[in-house]
Structure 1
């Protein structure tokens, strides 16, 4: 079906190009763009409800940025959106610099393996990106970005329980033009970007755009002498579009993107020389590069080409989009939206930085520089996705009813060949697991939303989506002992996957792990809008969303490869959108209350052997409530001020009536909490080896329930820009600044942080040189409050034909962490600067 639909779309595209083109007033420029307000705030037209509307008319909590705004604020990638959007925390995944993990209102996922789905969906031109392996999108030719907060399950579908990031690329223009830009920055960073629009007729045009970037990396590897944590890559995009007839339009594009970027564990001071704190340092002994026959992993019993990998992360993405739009009747439009994504990823990453993992007994592991790293993962993955959507938009009954309805189909196939290694000494490396994972997702959905315009001011909205999806999985163990004609029970094979013995019923059969899971779910939406006047909108809504279940594919043993169920959300919102003083001041305010059932929580902890244990379960429910405010002020022409504020109060909700153990032998959170408290009462050091129930899952080291990760109470972004005319020749100087602040947050599920200072001594356990309760932060989950400053200064030529600019990111070199893994804190990138020259033609 996938190949048939893709072939049909290709034939239609070729037919469109060959069709006689008609010169009409509607051409390739019909994509919504920012409307210029005379002397006030620019109004951005968005498609958050799958139709074109002013952002101020949409009863959804949404932050929208035009391409010009992104350029002025120095936003070069989707990663940087977290410093502008209320209650959004964004970070690179541990190790993988090409992957973003977005947390909106406390909902997010840091996993990139294909059995996990992110709860904040990323879309490019209405095409959903299932994998977040390479969703750190370079914003080199973007019309606008929409960040929708809260579940979008009715119109955007599965896996949007937290929200959606919708990237809309620029479409070809009917006039010849474009731009070219070059830049140079810190760490020898070089960038080049360009785009050109070429009209082929009065109503059909093409756009060719691309970018290239290269840098040395901001961290020095003290073992190999190389520089790492670079952000290299290039991409090209061919866009086509125009009007085929008075009632038929088409836009399509092909993009090829190559990215090479790491987010390796690094420190402010050198492990080899703690007095050297000038820069960022990495100590893994794995040499950087792509592949080599002399890779340090080549002599290990690892199968496939991944044993030749060197330190690095490489992704290649091909994205094809097609959107046919047909006016089927008066005020009624049909869209056929087709997307195809092919993505390859190869990486070798060391998550222990060439040494052992930190713990209470060894809070600051000494420099080792192991040639195969400390805990390393080698991954060779191929991911392919096809989607087809049919969408009908329109109104009838003299404008009484507006509607959008459609059907959606998606199929995704993944093959992941990966191995985990753990190094004990310069000569001893354990291969913890080496397996091939194949999994497939097939989803079918139908949706409809109806708006009833009861009066000119009052609108009632009702929407519903039905989704049916099936996921299948197969795993094969690559180890020689599992491929000698006899498959041992310990081999990671599909038929071997089982749970654990249930301690309360040890004679019961051990539950087997299914290789197929299905979900059938309705996700409704209800809303009411009231226009007080043309500048003030009041709204309230109730929306449901869900995120697919999956498997804990990071497991290295057959009884840890367990399934987890879907995550379901109800979100209730009320808000106001308003413009004041002839649109000189904009104030948008949203209050929300979110109830999450069966929250999917990835967790990782250090096992007694020092290696890593991964577990993901539906540990608990979660409740989050809060408010979001966005203010914009244009007091005089050219001066723009803004303040975006987010507040949230999140907490887990534990089922105290759940069985002590589930069917797979996993202890309930309440039972684990009691076990931890009993261990503390017996005199054992919390989170020590004799108190394994403490500091694991979502139970803190002190036996209390953890705080949800990446839910800082306050997120605040403020900024200003001013266009200062220089004489009468049309030149101008534009300084701008952004200051973002967030309060402290936790970055690991169990809130386990290692502090300086000896842990409590007792007769039965300890003491240890580290403790889990207070002192100087050495490693782990707790991330103090942080302030980041970005600034930009641009000189514009006459009619903005050219521009010279210089910008800094994290200008005061603030050090903070948004993520962690197995007791290690991953600190954000240091200060960077960039000088650019741009010419528009």
Structure 2
């Protein structure tokens, strides 16, 4: 196992800790802030890198302290996404340890380290650069802040969509803690606990841990195994101390292990379609299998599944002066991720003639990726906050350094069969076996000032300068590429060259180094119209780093793509009324992105998967976001969240038909697609320019992915005092998501034959005629969650919960036309004792 870097483990912190903390957060400081009459607690955030009330921040932000999370029944990372307007979250394809987030239309399902996510994630002010492990279970959550829109001034690179910040609880200054045990569906059992131990008047330690194990909700009817489990354990040491009247320090060390996959599964057994009682898998791969020497390195011995470890280390030293404070923030994250995943369920990939290929049970999978990965990152920040000119200006600024080094040894195996090579082994083809290393070195300086022009009017100006350098190197592991010769097909540094052609005369070398130097400013104004109403408007720039299409299967496909840049213009208001019993926040925005990075997976003519990522288009998203919270009487908490967005790709018709690497422009592809359709050819069949990339089956640009036009969430909880020190708290919440596409090319199969002008008859179509069979279109769906908690003043409690209580199915992703569904209904019973 080699080095590795965690990925966006940010919302992460919820996966294990919140069931414990959120269900019983009555002693949290924020809960104490509620009035006896039943008002909303004051949530303090650091969205502007200094502590202030969420209602005073002129930013579109959704903030949840542990009391708020408790009132909404949050029990996992993905639960949070249900309550944030215009945020879509789902478990990533294959990787049970990874989540993907789309905020205001910007997101990515890529977990490979030459791609960066556009939603930056932070744990205790430490930026986490990857998203192949951001569903790891952390714990001891104090609050979660979701900042919508670019955050390039104070948070830096890779925040074009926004930022998610998780803050863990500091050790308490009195001895105490909790112990919890739970049992639930699919054999899931959990143990959790935490202890706060003051070691001196000025120094405390928090020890926390969890372990969980399950059978998995998907049953493999070929091998008899169960998959999509939630296995793992983790431990945290939190430290907090006051070194003097002006110096304090806090730090954490966390180690986690997660074993679990998000394998493609079906609501009816593909081997027996009449059996629709459960979730089913039919790959022939097994947990204890291997590749029999067909690929190189440790990954040759991997069986079906995923194993991810993470070590997280943070330190924050704060030095306070009369009007100035300095924070020295240091972070180190090391992650390993090893897996062998079958993305085709042990058979061929869906096609227009066969959207449900027959079960083959290939022992090496239909399309399998085996990966050994190690990822490490280090960051150092010095942040200065000051109040100047008798409070006229509040300033925050600093310098930031970041580096990461990634190692990925991975292979692609594609199985076919013939009369001479029948299933279950078939004929495994090694499409690629290579080692890729990539690194990033970046430094930045930033400064932002809030200027109080009057008691009610404030203007903000800020700017950040970033200088970032990336490098990538590739080595082909196949024996034929290491026998003293280097064929042109070998994935090697020496072959990173686009051959000469009529489109690329003389050929072109593919660079293995990228550098970007960029300024990202921010301007804002906010006006306190009354004690209860804040009006604000802002303009902010952000950028997402460039990278390489490292999943390419030929040297000429390992192409670079440039940074994407975003400007966001937004305005809105924040209000609290009736003695803080009602809170209404609303914002409207216009997001303008240039050079949008658009990744796409497609099926090659030989049936194998291909991948391409380019800056194919610009992007525009306009939307409205509304959040309402209410606590009309003591014990009752209500909420609602509404999001609307209208987005589209934008391309230029005036550019060249091909870029400098010979890749066709979207405008030229559109022209070809329309010509093919006019000639009577069939998209998905012989109209090969259609339903590829961001060109749709009808000869228009596709709809951007995971941007439902409307999202809605609402719910509430009520704590009823039963007497004798007992209370009962039911909590119910529901979320609705409008239909949207989850595949870049919007390809969906419909049950209606179509004949091409060439005479070829296709058994189905992809233009929307007939009943939907499978594919990119994700129909609208409701999800309902519920929790019931009985609590005693003596410290014990019992809770019962269900997630996706009505077992609703939703298409969350597609990869090469294969659907990935959300998790089925689950339930759990927990017992806890606080001491």
Distance 1:207 1:78 in 2: 22
The change in CA–CA distance for 1:632 and 1:65 in structure 2 (over 3 A counts) is same
Aligned partners of 1:463 and 1:525 also within 8 Å: yes
Cα displacement (A) at 1:393: 0.7
Equivalences for 1:675-824 in 2 at 5 Å?
A: 675-688=672-685, 690-727=686-723, 729-798=724-793, 801-824=795-818
Equivalent residue number for residue 544 of structure 2:
547
Cα displacement (A) at 1:141: 1.2
Equivalent residue number for residue 11 of structure 2:
none
Cα displacement (A) at 1:179: 1.0
Equivalent residue number for residue 613 of structure 1:
610
Q: 1:304 aligns with which of 297, 305, 330?
A: 297
Deviations 1:227-262 (A, max 9, x none): 001111110000111100000000011000101121
Distance 1:159 1:697 in 2: 23
Q: 1:388 aligns with which of 366, 373, 380?
A: 380
Equivalent residue number for residue 318 of structure 1:
311
Give the secondary structure class of the aligned counterpart of 2:690.
coil
Aligned partners of 2:384 and 2:397 also within 8 Å: yes
Q: 1:370 aligns with which of 338, 348, 362?
A: 362
Give the secondary structure class of the aligned counterpart of 2:555.
coil
Distance 1:480 1:370 in 2: 24
Aligned partners of 2:408 and 2:435 also within 8 Å: yes
Equivalent residue number for residue 8 of structure 1:
none
Aligned partners of 1:502 and 1:664 also within 8 Å: no
Give the secondary structure class of the aligned counterpart of 2:672.
helix
TM-score (norm 1): 0.94
Equivalent residue number for residue 600 of structure 2:
603
Equivalent residue number for residue 54 of structure 1:
53
Distance 2:721 2:602 in 1: 57
Q: Does 1:561 align with 2:558?
A: yes
Aligned partners of 2:30 and 2:67 also within 8 Å: no
Give the secondary structure class of the aligned counterpart of 2:677.
helix
Q: Does 1:839 align with 2:833?
A: yes
Aligned partners of 1:502 and 1:661 also within 8 Å: no
Cα displacement (A) at 1:778: 2.3
Distance 1:412 1:453 in 2: 39
Cα displacement (A) at 1:759: 2.4
Cα displacement (A) at 1:490: 1.2
Cα displacement (A) at 1:765: 3.4
Equivalent residue number for residue 420 of structure 2:
none
Distance 2:748 2:500 in 1: 31
Equivalences for 1:121-200 in 2 at 5 Å?
A: 121-138=120-137, 140-200=139-199
Equivalent residue number for residue 19 of structure 1:
none
Distance 1:114 1:296 in 2: 25
Aligned partners of 2:160 and 2:544 also within 8 Å: yes
The change in CA–CA distance for 1:761 and 1:541 in structure 2 (over 3 A counts) is same
Q: Does 1:37 align with 2:34?
A: yes
Distance 1:323 1:763 in 2: 68
Number of residue pairs the alignment of both structures matches: 800
Distance 1:715 1:480 in 2: 52
Distance 1:431 1:128 in 2: 36
Q: Does 1:583 align with 2:580?
A: yes
Q: Does 1:332 align with 2:328?
A: no
Distance 2:427 2:773 in 1: 27
Distance 1:121 1:390 in 2: 19
Give the secondary structure class of the aligned counterpart of 1:382.
strand
Distance 1:735 1:767 in 2: 53
Deviations 1:655-702 (A, max 9, x none): 1111100001011101000101111111211121x2221111100011
Q: Does 1:411 align with 2:403?
A: yes
Q: Does 1:350 align with 2:346?
A: no
Equivalent residue number for residue 75 of structure 2:
76
Aligned partners of 1:759 and 1:772 also within 8 Å: no
The change in CA–CA distance for 1:803 and 1:621 in structure 2 (over 3 A counts) is same
Distance 2:499 2:252 in 1: 49
Cα displacement (A) at 1:32: 8.6
Give the secondary structure class of the aligned counterpart of 1:572.
strand
> Structure 1: where are the runs of 5+ without partners?
4-30, 290-294
Equivalences for 1:214-253 in 2 at 5 Å?
A: 214-253=213-252
Aligned partners of 2:711 and 2:736 also within 8 Å: yes
Deviations 1:594-623 (A, max 9, x none): 000000011011111110010001110000
Distance 2:555 2:717 in 1: 57
The change in CA–CA distance for 1:772 and 1:48 in structure 2 (over 3 A counts) is same
Deviations 1:472-520 (A, max 9, x none): 01000001111011111111001211236565x45x1111110000011
The change in CA–CA distance for 1:139 and 1:61 in structure 2 (over 3 A counts) is farther
Aligned partners of 2:103 and 2:148 also within 8 Å: yes
Distance 1:385 1:677 in 2: 47
Deviates more, 1:633-642 or 1:717-726: 633-642
RMSD between superposed Cα atoms in Å: 1.4
Q: Does 1:535 align with 2:532?
A: yes
Equivalent residue number for residue 17 of structure 2:
none
> Structure 2: where are the runs of 5+ without partners?
4-27, 418-422
Cα displacement (A) at 1:210: 1.0
Deviations 1:534-570 (A, max 9, x none): 2211100000000000000111111111110001000
Cα displacement (A) at 1:73: 3.1
Give the secondary structure class of the aligned counterpart of 1:716.
strand
Aligned partners of 2:332 and 2:378 also within 8 Å: yes
Cα displacement (A) at 1:84: 1.1
Aligned partners of 2:222 and 2:284 also within 8 Å: yes
Equivalent residue number for residue 570 of structure 2:
573
Q: 2:654 aligns with which of 629, 652, 657?
A: 657
Aligned partners of 1:76 and 1:140 also within 8 Å: no
TM-score (norm 2): 0.94
